[in-house]
Amino acid sequence: MTPARRPIARLAVLAFLAVAGVPGFAALALLAAAAVVSPVAAGASSPAGAPDFAVIGSGRTDPTLLERIGSAGSATEWPAADIVVVFDSTAVVVEESGLSHRRQHLLRKALTPAGCRALAAPRFDYDPASNRIDILAVRVHRGDSTFVALDPASAADVPAPAHMIYWGARMKLLGLPRLEPGDAVETISAKMGFQIAYLGEVDEDLERYTPPMRGHFYDVLLFQASDPIRTIHYRLTLPRDKVAQYSVYNGPVSSALAFTDSTLVYEWWAVDQPAVAAEPLEPDRSDFVPKVVLATVPDWPEKSRWFQQVNEPVFAWNDEIAAKVRELTAGLRTDDERMAALLHWVADNIRYSGLNMGAGEGYTLHPGIMTWEERCGVCKDIAGMLVTMLRAAGYPTYPVMTMAGARVECVPADQFNHCVVAVRRDDGSYTMLDPTWAPQSAEIWSRAEGEQNYVIGSPEGEDLTAIRTFTPEENRLRVTCDAAIDRDGTLAGTISMEGTGYPDTRMRRGLAGVARAERQGFAAEILQGIAPGVDLLEASFGNPEDYGRPMRYELRFRAPRYAALTDSSIDLALPGARFLRGIQRFARIVEVPKTEERTHPALFWAPVQTEVEDKLVLPAAYRFPDELPAADLDRPAAAYHAEITAGSPGLRAAQRLTLKKRTVLPSEWSGLAEASDSLAAFAGRRLHGSR
């Protein structure tokens, strides 16, 4: 392929870039799509003027490989899949320094036209600051037993799609000739380095790829994915004196260990792994798919000490920071008040935006002075800003590694995606603070982060521990509907909402995300559950930034022809119960997704208790049946209680819907759905009274 024609061959890659959202490529999307579907026979020359996709060779597929492709199955065997992974084989060799060399041999077969599109441009991700990737081979194996080989050098090397975190990640993409169902794409790649860049600047070329915790290696291996896998295999070769500890979680994975005079060779593999079917509300897949966690680090205290030492230099402060700390804490009497004031200032003033500020991204916190000047950063930098300010206030404070939305297993491998703050008290205990989750939140530690594992970076070295479990009573949403029905059936009244804990945070953020001029529309939308024709008369809200008071909404409304009245009867539904059905944004359990059978856990983040009280005045005295609708359901993950009393001057009703657990197991899902369905049934019940 001549250099003049190579840019044309890359048009197929541009189609992928446009779909992936990479800026600057959308205008070429149509040309790229045309290039992808251009028919090029295996091993044949392209028509004059058509792209040849950098084909550098062709021939007959090796019989053994051909047999594996055939036996991988077709759309008949995998009716819900677009792709089947024939094999995914990874071999890693680790040097004494911890520098790793990773070679991946991957063969994927397209089962459907959608699978062909998904495989049209193989993607190879890397981070120039911490690793290097080389594409060694790319081959398309056809259904007629032939193959074409593509030139790896023709791959486009472009910025990877990014959102909110812009650290310079890149990817290599290679456009392929048109694929047909039954074709298979084989890739071989080599990557040197580690997965996350979190050390400072280094000089030697190879040294930049050596892991931050020098001499050590870790990995987390998942043995199930969105596509079915026939064979997945991972081999790790370590120096003989560098022993890895590992554990297998969430299902069987085969393993073996061999050794030579100079090496230890670990192997893990699995066969015939079905695709992971996505389910609503599921946690991170590492919590439930088969996995291996391995590390050469001996224990968590060593990891803790390393994390403290590598970040200790960044917490210096200047005169401006010290002055702001004095200003924010002036007149405050207690440590808790001072900590909260500094936490909320950092949360509300340091914007979440991960700009690449040079070497050291990842787990190395940006210097506090840098974050102060830039007023932005990701969780680690926001945490570092708070550590800096708390230290300037005189508090012994440390950075903390944690994992939001997934477990951290006992093997001391890096299993973290978040960074928070710990303040050591005089008695040796710690107060945990999370400034990243604190914007528009009265809490110093979000109650959606209960049971979360963490490791504090301290000079003494800390073990893996976890935040305590929060109770539903600590996360309470109270709704009161005080209303009356007049003689023409019009309903008028006031809905009041007040939150404690996590519901309070959701109410604050729900309002804070709406422009002041649009808040009446926001309130009107919330009311729609009561009746299609409900009118908002007036809305008042608490201040989302007043963290000393519970968040409160008060909505005055009117719903014409809400109740059906005659001279002798009345027919109506309870407005508070109907209102609750329309505010799922504040209580997720109100309406859970319908699933025939659940196989994965469901993550609700926080147990919540929702209470609704209806006080309804009627235009006359009506008699209601002695047995009014009621419910009393108690299941392992949820409970629902409802009762109605009739009297003068009308009806009163009380409901309590309780989500008992942060994470609901598949075996508990039916009980949770039963509680949610009971609420729906109660809200839909019509009440009939007579005179």
Residue 655 to residue 583: CA distance in whole angstroms? 15
Rounded percentage of the chain residues whose pLDDT exceeds 70 = 89
Q: Which of 10-19, 42-51, 52-61, 345-354 has the lowest mean pLDDT?
A: 10-19
Evaluate if residue 206 carries a pLDDT over 70: no
Taking only the tens place, the pLDDT of each residue in 505-536 is: 999 999 998 999 999 999 999 999 999 889 99
Single-letter residue type at 462: E
Question: At 591, is the pLDDT very low, low, confident or very high (cuts 50, 70, 90)?
Answer: confident
Which pLDDT score is estimated for 371?
95
> Quick check: 46 pLDDT over 60?
no
Q: And the tokens for 295? A: 């590390």
CATH topology of domain 303-466: C8orf32 fold (3.10.620)
Averaged pLDDT for residues 563-581: 92
> CATH 2.60.120.1130 occupies which residues in the chain?
473-690
pLDDT given for residue 164 in this prediction: 84
| Separation of alpha carbons 568 and 245, rounded Å | 78
Instruction: Please give the pLDDT value at position 268.
Output: 98
Q: What is the mean pLDDT of residues 342-347?
A: 97
Residues of the chain with CATH 2.60.40.3140: 52-298
At residue 362 the predicted structure's pLDDT band, cuts being 50, 70 and 90, is low
What burial class does residue 112 get, using C-beta atoms within 10 Å of its C-beta: 0-12 exposed, 13-18 middle, 19+ buried? Answer: middle
The predicted structure's pLDDT at residue 554: 97
In which element (H, E) is residue 391 found?
A: helix 379-392
* Per-residue pLDDT, 354: 83
Find the mean pLDDT for residues 40-58: 55
Average pLDDT over residues 316-330: 98
Tell me what the mean pLDDT of segment 255-259 comes to.
97
Task: Tell me the C-alpha to C-alpha distance, in Å, between residue 399 and each of 22, 199, 387, 429.
Answer: 34, 15, 7, 15
* Per-chain mean pLDDT for the chain: 89
| 409-427 average pLDDT score | 96
Better pLDDT: 129 or 480: 480
Is 196's pLDDT higher than 70? no
Amino acid at 281: L
CATH of region 473-690: 2.60.120.1130
Mean pLDDT of 54-72: 95
Burial class (CB in 10 A: 0-12, 13-18, 19+), 241: exposed
pLDDT of residue 26: 33
Q: Which pLDDT does position 662 carry in this prediction? A: 96
> What's the gap between Cα 50 and its chain centre?
43
| pLDDT band per the 50, 70, 90 thresholds, residue 38 | very low
Structure confidence at residue 513 (pLDDT): 87
Count of Cβ atoms closer than 10 Å to residue 225 Cβ = 16
Does residue 649 have a cis bond before it (omega within 30 degrees)? yes
* pLDDT number for residue 587: 78
Q: Give the span between the Cα atoms of 641 and 639, in whole angstroms.
A: 7
Please give the pLDDT value at position 82. 98
The DSSP element (H or E) to which 231 belongs, if any, is: strand 229-239
Residue 51 has pLDDT above 50, yes or no: no
**Mean predicted confidence (pLDDT) in 261-275:** 97
pLDDT average, residue stretch 662-674: 95
The mean per-residue pLDDT over the stretch 428-442 comes to 96
Residue keyed to tokens 């440590």: 335
Average pLDDT for residues 244-270, to the nearest whole number?
Answer: 97
How much of the chain exceeds pLDDT 90, in percent? 80
Res. 408: pLDDT tops 80? yes
The residue ranking higher by pLDDT, 323 or 206, is 323
Burial class (CB in 10 A: 0-12, 13-18, 19+), 423: buried
Is a pLDDT exceeding 90 seen at residue 441?
yes
Instruction: Give the pLDDT confidence of 612-653 residue by residue, as tens digits.
Output: 999 999 999 999 998 999 999 999 999 999 999 998 889 999
The string of pLDDT tens digits covering residues 95-154 is 999 999 999 999 999 999 999 999 999 999 998 878 899 999 999 999 999 999 999 999
Q: What is the mean pLDDT of residues 544-568?
A: 94
pTM of the model: 0.87
Contacts of residue 371, defined as CB under 8 A and 6 or more positions apart, other chains included, come to 350, 377, 381, 382, 384, 385, 388
Classify residue 383 as exposed, middle or buried by CB count within 10 Å of its CB (0-12, 13-18, 19+).
buried
CA-CA distances (angstroms) from residue 259 to 93, 233, 234, 238?
13, 18, 16, 9
CATH architecture, range 52-298: Sandwich (2.60)
* Beta-strand pair 83-94/229-239: parallel
What is the structure's pLDDT at 4? 34
Confidence of residue 363 (pLDDT cuts 50, 70, 90): low
Would the pLDDT of 314 be above 90? yes
pLDDT, position 44? 38
